[in-house]
Amino acid sequence: MTTFKEQSTHAATGKLSLAEILEIFASGHTRLKFTAYDGSAAGPEDAELGLDLLTPRGTTYLATAPGELGLARAYVSGDLQPLGVHPGDPYELLKALATRDNMDFKRPPARVLANVLRSIGLEHFKPIAPPPQEALPRWRRTVEGLRHSKTRDAEAIHHHYDVSNKFYEWVLGPSMTYTCACYPDADASLEEAQENKYRLVFEKLQLKPGDRLLDVGCGWGGMVRYAARHGVKAIGVTLSKEQAEWARNAIAEQGLSDLAEVRHSDYRDVRESGFDAVSSIGLTEHIGVHNYPAYFRFLQSKMRDGALLLNHCITRPENKTTASADAFIDRYVFPDGELTGSGRIITEMQNIGLEVVHEENLRHHYALTLRDWCRYLVEHWDEAVEEVGLPTARVWGLYMAGSRVGFETNVIQLHQVLAVKVDALGNDGGLPLRPWWTP
């Protein structure tokens, strides 16, 4: 049996096979199996999970971007094959990879990288074009547009949400809801859990027939339609043209046009005010942490005194880490996305004068939601690949399964924060003394 010290010494000094190099770039997970196109293998022969390096191009991706980004490039391009899992749900493999440093694929030490160079040759260290599914790096995006300007935000939303409504129907299921569900029990279906989430938001906002709701970042209009079915006049806004078109059709088909409206618009272009409630479900991740004061101030300006605001978004488990997303998420999933802790969100809401009355963490519910989305993707894999192409389908399977691991291991969380707009005398409109909703 080779000791860890012996492995480290060999990685830094001995001639390395491609399978050993792949093992190094995967953070040295020795209980997985690694194979490569040169016929080499590393790790236990009987391991059911692992990675297979298929092409020289994959080696170049790994060498030029050692760590998470290189692995993602090789995988998305088809140069790196997962072993023992379906590409629509590589959860078990990612969970195994996450046993060290929570999937933080660190750059190997300089001595090890030097030996990798000697082992594979200088030609693999010459950068090549990334897969076309990859967004520009942040510095290039900055050159081409001010971050979180209306134009650049629209481009970022288009990159992620305008993939294909048909594709989203296969992944999200009948609810067409791309945010964390709330499972009433462990046996609930995804559709029941999404309906329960909308019920929870509706009750927290104390909405009743005749009220007016503004839903910013409304997606395919799930919250808008739920509110309209319960007699509330609801306006939703989304930067995704395809989402808006789908939502309008659903509103018309369900006979909700008198109460529900979805606009293809930036939330900052909403002119109406005096709303009885505002919901922000899955938008805060996109607006930029330094924009929080302006964001919450704008939402506050749309609310009457005594109105309630519910902010539902993915967060970090603490408030110290840099807000920027990791390389794979930033380049392949959410360009310009930023996450911070729930404490920062609460602070910014309080600092502009909103009174926070409740918050809760639903991270385990998001892990279950992602589990069910991956299940749908696997069930519709062939149709999804035909609709959006194999590389994009791979991105989604990797992203959703990896996010599930992140929620399960407390790398990320999902918080709902409820706040009220008080008047100049601190009156909150007469809220009950205790929570008024069913958990």
Residue identified by tokens 């046009």 is 257
pLDDT at position 99 is 57
Each residue's pLDDT tens digit, 40-67: 999 999 999 999 999 999 999 999 998 8
Can you give the pTM of this predicted structure? 0.90
Answer yes or no: is pLDDT of 424 > 90: yes
Digit-coded pLDDT (tens) for 279-326: 999 999 999 999 999 999 999 999 999 999 999 999 999 999 877 778
Residue range 20-48: mean pLDDT, rounded: 88
110 exposure class (CB count in 10 Å sphere: 0-12, 13-18, 19+): exposed
Can you tell me the mean pLDDT for 105-128?
81
The rounded mean pLDDT for the chain is 90
Boundaries of every domain in the chain: 4-125, 154-421
Question: Which residues lie below 8 Å from residue 261, measured CB to CB, with a gap of 6+?
Answer: 224, 234, 235, 236, 251
Q: What is the pLDDT of residues 65-81, one digit of tens each?
A: 988 899 999 999 999 99
Letter for the amino acid at 279?
A: S
Kindly tell me if the per-residue pLDDT of 347 is higher than 70.
Answer: yes
pLDDT tens for each residue of 123-178: 888 999 999 999 888 655 555 555 555 555 545 554 445 579 999 999 999 999 99
Specify the pLDDT at position 351.
Answer: 98
Residue with the larger pLDDT of the pair 65 and 226? 226
The yes-or-no verdict on residue 195 having pLDDT over 80 is yes
Q: How high is the pLDDT of residue 122?
A: 82
Q: Helices 56-64 and 68-76 sit at what angle, rounded to 10 degrees?
A: 150
| pLDDT tens-digit readout, 170-179 | 999 999 999 9
Taking the mean position of all CA atoms in its chain, how far away is CA 299?
23
Query: Crossing angle of helices 363-379/390-408, nearest 10°?
Result: 150
For 277-316, the DSSP string reads EEEEES-GGGT-GGGHHHHHHHHHHTEEEEEEEEEEEEEB
What pLDDT score does 280 carry?
98
Q: Superfamily for 154-421? A: Vaccinia Virus protein VP39 (3.40.50.150)
pLDDT for the residue numbered 120: 87
Under a CB-based contact definition with an 8 Å cutoff, are residues 342 and 361 in contact? yes
Q: What is the pLDDT of residues 369-391, one digit of tens each?
A: 999 999 999 999 999 999 999 99
> Average pLDDT of 354-367?
98
Position 187 scores a pLDDT of 93
